[in-house]
Amino acid sequence: MRRLSRLVVAAASACTLVGALVGAALAYPNPGLVTGDVVVHDPTMIRTSSGGYVVYSTHGYLEARTSTDRITFTRAGSAFGSPPSWWRTYSSGNDPWAPDISQQSGRYLMYYAVSGFGSNFSAIGLATSSTGQPGSWSDQGVVYSTTTSSDHNAIDPNLLVDASGRWWLSFGSYWTGIRMIRLDPATGKRLSSDQTLYHLATRPDAPYAVEAPDIVRHGGYYYLFASYDRCCAGTSSTYKVKVGRSAAPTGPYVDRSGTSMLSGGGTMVLETHGSVIGPGGQSVLSDVDGDLLVYHYYDGNAGGTPKLGINLIGWDSAGWPYVY
């Protein structure tokens, strides 16, 4: 009987171990099926009024890809046919980055950054469109900028409209991390009556590698998704997506354990697994079948080529997001 009991215990332990390994393997799903032209960095996606999808991404005057089914994507030009004159001040190659698209009061808005890699001599611009389609955008100029003497960086913008209808722009990369300003809904630019520069997230360890904020409202909280660690290094990338939440748009944001995102906190949402390397540069879209995490990753099966990733977001019983 003792031998049988030992066998039963051993079998149960083995099953527990296998279950743990399987659970770990399933902790992060692979990206959902996407095909066609899906080589992107820093994607933002919208479902237009006509029911189709447009993805905009870094480079090429803000590269555009369209889809009718959220699976097959086709390259469709760029947001801009030619660069606004002010871009060259911040980028000798007229190279815009990290767009953020949304639809507000019947028009489409796109915030984006112009900078040089590793520099905080940067600016965030705004463009508007009546359709959201490639080539339809009108530039509205600079919204916010930083210089090499600034302690933060004006890239990776994201618009939040809070529960009271107030507009906020979060942004930031390295230096002191994620910052936020309040915007005027009438212009989409900084609100003159509130010049506060809010601080949302940073790292306690140099080089303070947190960037690409995206804030969404769910239930009674605001959730700050951000990318941590090293981007843009192919299979050597260590990018990952973390999240914190707050009852107010300006923070404080804390992770599941209660650690502030101003102290390096952040609950993991997605990180390297298998051939999916360095996922990040994320945005969140609410679609007809739920919330989506839209991001890029480096494909270990394709020499580290950056590709579009899309996963549905679930919300657990405690209100924390996960991807599936």
Report the CATH number at residue 200.
2.115.10.20
The predicted pLDDT at position 221 comes to 98
Q: Which domain holds residue 24?
A: 1-30
Kindly state whether residues 311 and 263 are assigned to the same domain. Answer: yes
pLDDT(2) > 60: no
Q: CB neighbours (10 Å) of residue 276?
A: 21
Query: Once rounded to an integer, what is the mean pLDDT over residues 187-204?
Result: 97
The predicted pLDDT at position 7 comes to 33
23 against 190, higher pLDDT: 190
* Contact between residue 189 and residue 183 where contact means Cβ atoms under 8 Å apart: yes
- 274: closest CA among 314, 309, 231? 309
What's the first-to-final CA gap in the chain, in angstroms? 44
The predicted pLDDT at position 9 comes to 35
Query: Once rounded to an integer, what is the mean pLDDT over residues 18-22?
Result: 35
Kindly state whether residues 207 and 298 are assigned to the same domain. Answer: yes
Percentage of the chain with pLDDT > 90? 90
| Active-site position among 95, 156, 211, 271 | 211
* Contact between residue 254 and residue 266 where contact means Cβ atoms under 8 Å apart: no
Q: Dihedral (C-alpha) 41, 215, 239, 116: value to the nearest 10 degrees?
A: 50
Q: CB neighbours (10 Å) of residue 23?
A: 9
Kindly state whether residues 95 and 148 are assigned to the same domain. Answer: yes
pLDDT-derived band at 55 (thresholds 50, 70, 90) equals very high
Chain centroid offset of residue 55 CA: 13
The predicted pLDDT at position 27 comes to 86
Kindly state whether residues 159 and 284 are assigned to the same domain. Answer: yes
Kindly state whether residues 161 and 231 are assigned to the same domain. Answer: yes
The predicted pLDDT at position 6 comes to 33
- 224: closest CA among 175, 262, 182, 279? 262
Q: What are the pLDDT digits (tens) for 81-114? A: 999 999 999 999 999 999 999 999 989 999 999 9
Q: CB neighbours (10 Å) of residue 138?
A: 11
The predicted pLDDT at position 256 comes to 98
Q: Dihedral (C-alpha) 147, 148, 151, 156: value to the nearest 10 degrees?
A: 60
Kindly state whether residues 78 and 6 are assigned to the same domain. Answer: no
The predicted pLDDT at position 21 comes to 33
Tokens representing 46?
Answer: 């919208």
Query: Once rounded to an integer, what is the mean pLDDT over residues 161-189?
Result: 98
Query: Once rounded to an integer, what is the mean pLDDT over residues 156-162?
Result: 98
Q: CB neighbours (10 Å) of residue 136?
A: 15
Kindly state whether residues 157 and 89 are assigned to the same domain. Answer: yes
The predicted pLDDT at position 128 comes to 98
Show Cβ contacts of residue 300 under 8 Å, excluding neighbours closer than 6 positions: 235, 274, 275, 276, 277
Question: What is the longest distance spanned by two Cα atoms in the chain?
Answer: 84
Domain count for the chain: 2
DSSP string, 18-33: HHHHHHHHTSSPPPPP
Could you give the residue ranges of the DSSP H alpha helices within 87-242?
87-90
- 150: closest CA among 113, 125, 123? 123
pLDDT-derived band at 22 (thresholds 50, 70, 90) equals very low
Kindly state whether residues 191 and 160 are assigned to the same domain. Answer: yes
pLDDT(26) > 70: no
Kindly state whether residues 16 and 147 are assigned to the same domain. Answer: no
| Active-site position among 42, 95, 271, 291 | 42
Output b/e per residue, 91-116; b: 16+ Cβ within 10 A. beeebbbbbbbbeeeeebbbbbbbbe
Report the mean per-residue pLDDT for the chain: 92
Beta-carbon-side half-sphere exposure of residue 255 (alpha carbons within 13 Å) = 19
Separation between Cα atoms, residue 160 and residue 185, nearest integer Å:
11
With H, G, I as helix, E, B as strand and everything else as coil, classify residue 263: helix
Query: Once rounded to an integer, what is the mean pLDDT over residues 41-70?
Result: 96
Kindly state whether residues 237 and 308 are assigned to the same domain. Answer: yes
Kindly state whether residues 19 and 161 are assigned to the same domain. Answer: no
Kindly state whether residues 163 and 68 are assigned to the same domain. Answer: yes
Separation between Cα atoms, residue 205 and residue 284, nearest integer Å:
27
Percentage of the chain with pLDDT > 70? 92
Catalytic status, residue 63: no
